[in-house]
C-alpha cells in the first residue's frame, strides 16, 4: 500500500479522522497478513477486545484501538496511516520506533518477529543513486562489528538485506545489534551536567578497553565522540557506530577525504583519513573525557569546518585545571591524549588504561531514571492516572502524536495551541508537567517558561521544551532559565515517554519530600510544646507521635496494620533477652530498652518519600526499582538527622532513630546496604531491629507472598540466614522466640 490511509481534509483539520466504509476492515486484514503484530498477541486478546477492533468505523479509530491494546506503537500508526506498511517489516524484524539517524543509515528500535527479542536495527537503502562507497562502508561496519566480542562494544546479532518494498528491486541492508537502554554521553552530560573525575575516568577506562579490542583486530573506529558512547542504567559503557571504521587490510577511505566529527577529530585525520592509526581514536577518547569533565567540547568552535580543521593543526590541548576534582595528574593525562602530534600521545589504549586506572571509580551512577530499558509495548505508567501533562504546540498533528504516545503510558493529557492559551490553562487547571514548543506565534515557549518560573505557585511544575528549529546546544541554554529538560523534533516515542516519565517521578519525589519534612517538623513542634509537661507525659506523647508517624508509612504501602506495635514489643523483648548474655552489659540498660521500644517503628520512615508504584508493586522489583527502594534507608536517616540538627534537645532519641533507619538493612557479613557495614560496626539498635523486622516480614501476609508459620520463621532466622544477623542476637532470639509468637497473636493484622 503506497497511499495514505488518513485523510488530510477532515473536519478537525489535523489529518487523524476518516470515514471510508470497509477500509478499516481491509487494513486490519492487511496488517494481520503482513504479521505486523504477532498472531498470538491477537489471539490472546479477549473476544470482546477483538470485536471492538474489528468494528472500528474508520482508520483513525482502528489505529487508536490497536494502540490501546498494545498491538501497534504510535510510530507504527503514523507509518500505517501514510500507507508505508512495507517499511515496517525489515527481514525478520518489526520496526517499533525510530531512535536515530545519521549519514550511515537510520536506527530503529525493533523486535524479532519469532524470538520477540528487542534490538537496535540499523538500515541502509541501496538505491541506484547511492554512492557505491557508502554501501561498501555499511557492509564494512557489519563486518567490523561482527568481529568484535567485548562487554563494552555493542554486540552484532544479525545482518542481511531485503527488498525495500514488495514491488521494488532496490534492496535495504540491515544490521541488528543489541538494544542498549540508557542515554549516550552527549545527552547524559547535557541533562545532568559534568561528571565527577572518578566517574569520568571509569567511563574512559571502559572505552579504552573497548578500543583496545578493536585495535587488536586491526580496526580503527575514527569517530569516537560522546554521542557514540552509551551509558546503560547499570553504569556499563557501550561503544557504538563502527560506520567509519578503517580496516588495515581493506581501506575504503580515499586520500584527502575528511571523515568523522570535527569537534573530536584528530588533526592527522583531517589531513588524510586514509592513513590514521589507533592514536586517532585516543584523540577522540581524550575529547570525550574532556566533555565528561567539563560539559564542553575540547576545542573552541570557529566558523566553518575548514577553519576548524586548519586551526586544529597548531592548537594546543586545553587544560582542565580549575574544574572541581580535576587533579594535575588527570589534566596531564587528558592533555597528552589530545596532543596535536600523534607521537606525543599515548602509544596504545593499554597505556591509557594504565594511566587512568588509579583515578577511576568502579561504580558508575545509573543512567537517567533507568527506565528507557522498558519495552515500548509494556511501558508502565509513570504515576497514577491523576498525573496530568499539558502539551503546547501550534501544530495540531504534533499535539495529537504526543498525546497518543503519552496516553499509552497512562498519562492524562490536555492540549493548548499557543503560549497564551497555555498560561491560561495552567492558571485555571492543575498540571504536573508542561511539554512546551519553543517556536510559537504570539507568546513563545521561552516566555511561557519565564512567566511560570516567576510564580512560586509552580515551583514543582516540570517544563520540557521541544523544538525542530533549535539545536541541542540552543535548547540546553533554556535549562538555566527554568526548563527541566528538552527534546528535539522529530520526536522519538521512546524518548518522549521516558523524559516525561522521569519528570513526573521527580515531581512526585519532591512533593513527598516536602510533605514528609512538614509532618516531621510539625511533630517536633508538638514535642517542644510537651516539654512544659511532666517527664512522664512527655515520653507518652513522644511515643504516641512516633506511632502516628509510623502509621503514615503503613497507610502508604500494603503493610500490616499492627506492624508498628509489634516492632515495639519485639525490639524490647530481644533487647531484654540480650541483656542476660553479658555481651552487651555496657550498652543495654533500662534507658536503652525504653529508647529502642520508642524508636523501632521509625525504621521504615524513609518509605514515605518513595513513589506509589514501588510501594504498591505486587511482584518482584526490577534492578532499578530495587535500587530506588533501597534509598528509603538514607532518605529516612537524612530527614531525622536534619531534625536533630535543628532540635538538639532530643539528640539521644533522634540519634538512635537515625541509626535504625539507616542501618537496619546492613548484614553482619558486610554485604548489606547502604554502607556495607560489618559486625559490631553496625549500631546495636539497628542489629536488633533487623531481626525483629525480618521475623515480622516472614509472619505477615503480603500480596506477593503468603504468611509463614512461627516455626518456619524461626527456622529461616536461625538456620537459613548465614551472615545476615548478629550471632549473639540470634542466640538471644532463640531464648525469647515463644514470646515473639505471643506478641504476633496479641497484635494480629
Contacts of 152 (CB under 8 A, 6+ apart): 206, 207, 209, 210, 213, 236, 237, 238, 239
Q: Identify whether the C-beta of residue 161 lies closer than 8 Å to the C-beta of residue 171.
A: yes
Specify the CATH number of the domain 197-359.
1.10.510.10
Fold of 531-746: Hypothetical protein af1432 (1.10.3210)
Q: Identify whether the C-beta of residue 95 lies closer than 8 Å to the C-beta of residue 120.
A: no
Same fold, 197-359 and 531-746: no
379-504 to CATH, choices 3.40.640.10, 3.40.50.2300, 3.30.365.10, 3.10.110.10: 3.40.50.2300
| Residue found under cell 517521578 | 505
Residue 665: predicted pLDDT: 93
Where are the extended beta strands (E) located within 223-276? 229-231, 237-239, 246-247
- For the 95-179 domain, the top CATH level (class) is alpha beta
> So where are the chain's domains?
1-84, 95-179, 197-359, 379-504, 531-746
CA distance 535 to 651: 16
Q: What is the DSSP letter of 295?
A: S
Residue 292: predicted pLDDT: 93
Residue 31: predicted pLDDT: 87
**The residue count for the chain:** 749
Residue 480: predicted pLDDT: 82
Residue 215: predicted pLDDT: 87
Instruction: Provide Rg for the chain, Cα atoms.
Output: 30
The burial class, CB within 10 Å (0-12 / 13-18 / 19+), for 612 is middle
CA distance 303 to 595: 69
* ∠ Cα 257 263 268 (to 5°): 45
Contacts 24+ apart (CB under 8 A), 702-705: 702/558, 703/558, 703/618, 704/618, 704/619, 704/620
C-alpha 612 chain-centroid distance: 17
CA distance 448 to 723: 57
Pairing assessment for the beta strands 229-231 and 237-239 based on DSSP bridges: antiparallel
pLDDT along the chain (749 residues), means of 10: 41 38 79 85 88 88 87 87 84 87 76 88 64 60 68 82 75 83 84 90 91 85 88 83 47 38 77 80 94 87 52 72 90 92 91 87 41 31 59 88 82 91 90 92 89 84 88 81 86 83 83 69 61 47 53 52 85 92 83 87 80 70 81 83 68 81 92 90 94 91 75 87 90 94 88
Q: Identify whether the C-beta of residue 15 lies closer than 8 Å to the C-beta of residue 8.
A: yes
For residue 376, give the nearest of 620, 37, 616, 106 by alpha carbon. 37
End-to-end CA distance of the chain: 62
- Quote the pTM value: 0.47
Q: Give the three cell numbers for residue 468.
A: 525542530
Neighbours of 106 (CB within 10 A): 15
Residue 550: predicted pLDDT: 54
Amino acid at each position: 500500500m503506497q497511499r495514505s490511509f488518513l485523510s488530510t481534509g477532515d473536519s478537525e483539520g489535523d489529518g487523524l479522522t476518516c470515514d471510508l466504509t470497509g477500509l478499516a476492515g481491509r487494513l486490519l486484514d492487511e496488517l494481520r497478513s503482513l504479521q505486523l503484530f504477532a498472531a498470538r498477541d491477537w489471539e490472546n486478546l479477549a473476544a470482546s477486545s477483538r470485536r471492538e477492533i474489528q468494528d472500528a468505523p474508520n482508520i483513525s479509530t482502528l489505529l487508536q484501538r490497536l494502540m490501546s491494546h498494545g498491538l501497534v506503537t504510535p510510530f507504527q500508526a503514523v507509518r500505517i496511516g501514510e500507507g508505508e506498511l512495507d517499511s515496517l517489516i525489515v527481514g525478520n524484524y518489526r520496526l517499533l520506533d525510530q531512535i536515530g539517524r545519521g549519514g550511515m543509515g537510520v536506527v530503529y528500535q525493533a523486535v524479532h518477529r519469532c524470538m520477540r527479542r528487542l534490538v537496535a536495527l540499523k538500515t541502509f537503502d541501496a538505491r541506484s543513486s547511492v554512492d557505491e562507497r557508502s554501501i561498501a562502508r555499511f557492509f564494512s561496519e557489519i563486518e567490523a562489528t561482527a568481529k568484535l566480542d567485548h562487554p563494552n562494544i555493542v554486540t552484532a546479532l544479525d545482518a542481511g538485506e531485503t527488498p525495500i518494498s514488495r514491488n521494488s528491486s532496490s534492496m535495504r541492508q540491515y544490521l541488528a545489534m543489541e538494544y542498549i537502554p540508557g542515554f549516550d554521553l552527549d545527552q547524559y552530560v547535557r541533562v545532568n551536567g559534568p561528571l565527577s573525575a572518578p566517574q569520568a575516568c571509569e567511563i574512559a577506562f571502559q572505552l579504552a578497553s573497548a578500543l583496545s579490542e578493536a585495535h587488536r583486530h586491526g580496526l580503527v573506529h575514527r569517530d569516537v565522540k560522546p554521542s557514540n558512547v552509551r551509558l546503560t542504567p547499570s553504569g556499563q559503557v557501550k561503544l557504538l557506530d563502527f560506520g567509519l571504521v578503517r580496516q588495515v587490510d581493506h581501506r575504503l577511505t580515499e586520500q584527502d577525504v575528511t571523515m568523522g566529527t570535527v569537534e573530536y577529530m584528530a588533526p592527522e585525520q583531517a589531513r588524510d583519513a586514509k592513513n590514521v592509526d589507533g592514536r586517532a581514536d585516543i584523540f577522540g577518547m581524550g575529547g570525550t573525557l574532556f566533555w565528561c569533565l567539563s560539559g564542553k567540547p575540547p576545542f573552541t568552535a570557529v566558523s566553518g569546518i575548514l577553519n576548524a580543521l586548519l586551526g586544529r593543526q597548531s592548537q594546543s590541548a586545553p587544560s582542565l585545571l580549575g574544574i572541581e576534582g580535576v587533579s594535575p595528574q588527570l589534566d596531564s593525562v587528558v592533555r597528552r591524549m589530545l596532543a596535536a602530534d600523534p607521537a606525543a600521545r599515548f602509544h596504545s589504549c593499554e597505556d591509557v588504561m594504565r594511566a587512568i586506572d588509579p583515578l577511576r571509580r568502579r561504580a558508575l551512577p545509573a543512567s537517567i531514571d533507568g527506565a528507557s530499558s522498558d519495552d515500548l509495548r509494556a511501558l508502565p505508567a509513570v504515576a497514577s492516572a491523576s498525573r496530568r501533562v499539558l502539551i503546547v504546540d501550534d501544530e495540531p498533528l504534533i499535539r495529537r502524536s504526543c498525546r497518543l504516545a503519552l496516553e499509552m503510558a497512562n498519562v492524562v493529557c490536555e492540549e493548548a495551541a499557543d503560549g497564551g492559551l497555555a498560561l491560561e490553562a495552567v492558571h485555571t487547571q492543575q498540571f504536573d508537567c508542561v511539554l512546551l514548543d519553543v517556536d510559537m506565534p504570539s507568546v513563545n515557549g521561552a516566555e511561557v517558561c519565564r512567566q511560570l518560573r516567576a510564580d512560586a505557585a509552580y515551583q514543582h511544575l516540570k517544563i520540557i521544551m521541544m523544538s525542530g528549529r533549535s539545536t541541542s546546544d540552543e535548547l540546553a541554554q533554556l535549562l538555566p532559565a527554568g526548563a527541566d529538560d528538552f527534546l528535539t523534533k522529530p520526536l522519538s516515542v521512546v524518548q518522549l515517554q521516558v523524559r516525561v516519565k522521569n519528570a513526573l517521578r521527580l515531581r512526585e519525589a519532591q512533593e513527598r519530600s516536602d510533605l514528609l519534612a512538614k509532618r516531621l517538623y510539625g511533630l517536633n513542634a508538638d514535642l517542644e510544646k510537651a516539654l512544659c509537661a511532666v517527664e512522664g507525659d512527655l515520653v507518652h506523647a513522644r511515643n504516641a507521635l512516633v506511632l502516628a508517624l509510623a502509621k503514615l508509612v503503613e497507610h502508604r504501602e500494603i503493610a500490616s496494620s499492627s506492624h508498628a506495635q509489634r516492632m515495639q514489643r519485639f525490639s524490647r523483648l530481644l533487647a531484654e533477652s540480650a541483656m542476660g548474655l553479658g555481651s552487651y552489659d555496657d550498652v543495654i540498660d533500662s534507658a536503652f530498652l525504653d529508647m529502642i521500644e520508642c524508636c523501632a517503628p521509625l525504621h521504615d520512615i524513609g518509605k514515605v518519600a518513595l513513589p506509589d508504584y514501588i510501594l504498591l508493586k505486587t511482584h518482584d522489583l526490577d534492578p532499578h526499582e530495587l535500587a530506588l527502594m533501597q534509598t528509603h534507608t538514607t532518605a529516612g536517616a537524612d530527614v531525622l538527622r536534619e531534625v536533630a540538627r535543628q532540635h538538639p534537645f532530643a539528640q539521644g532519641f533522634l540519634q538512635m532513630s537515625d541509626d535504625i533507619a539507616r542501618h537496619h538493612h546492613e548484614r553482619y557479613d558486610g554485604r548489606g546496604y547502604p554502607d556495607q557495614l560489618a559486625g559490631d560496626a553496625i549500631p546495636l539498635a539497628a542489629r536488633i531491629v533487623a531481626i525483629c523486622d525480618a521475623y515480622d516480614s516472614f509472619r505477615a501476609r503480603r500480596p506477593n507472598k503468603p504468611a509463614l508459620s512461627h516455626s518456619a520463621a524461626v527456622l529461616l532466622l536461625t538456620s537459613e540466614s548465614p551472615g545476615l544477623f548478629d550471632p549473639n542476637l540470634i542466640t538471644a532470639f532463640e531464648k525469647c522466640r515463644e514470646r515473639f509468637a505471643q506478641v504476633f497473636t496479641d497484635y494480629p493484622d
